[in-house]
Amino acid sequence: MNTQLILASASPRRRELLALTGVPFTVESADVDESCALPMKEAVVEISRRKAAAIAKAHPGCTVLASDTLVFVDDTPLGKPRDEADAFRMLSSLRNRWHQVCTGVVVCDSSGLMHTGTDVTDVHFTHMTDEEIRRYIATGEPMDKAGAYALQGAAGLWIDQIRGSSSCVIGLPLDLTRRLLEESGIEILP
């Protein structure tokens, strides 16, 4: 099928990951309400569905891929920090322990059918001193990231174990994305 694919995200990391599929796509960010009180897996799918639906409505006949990532510690979601104090609170709660990163992916195919899935990865942070956390926050990197960190950035200095997909933590689990694109009729290029 030769349908135009639209990535409903402004994230440069999602763009980079989707480019690995070899499928040509355009990018259009979806401005939707990202608040959601559902449990972890349902929340990331619901927010992704909202993004996909918003872009699909504006571009009938196109295929839209949307994704949302949340970080959970003790079943409590950690979204993007509101400010530096919030980032410090989040990062402090992650040190010396495991937490989960859950990413939902939704592909709205050209007929409007939603293909959905989730991926969960466990991530462990080693010890970070208060001063290390402050210096990391000062880089600005945590401020637009769920859980206030980027695996592929400087936070990787304190991550010693990952159980699952690193691309899930970055924001677009590649195996799940491949399967959902194929279900929707998009051929993955070698």
Give the span between the Cα atoms of 184 and 132, in whole angstroms.
45
The residues carrying an active-site annotation are 68
Give the span between the Cα atoms of 138 and 35, in whole angstroms.
27
Backbone angles phi, psi at 131, to 5 degrees: -65, -40
CA 2 to chain CA mean position, Å: 26
Alpha carbon distances (Å) from 51 to 43, 64, 187: 13, 9, 22
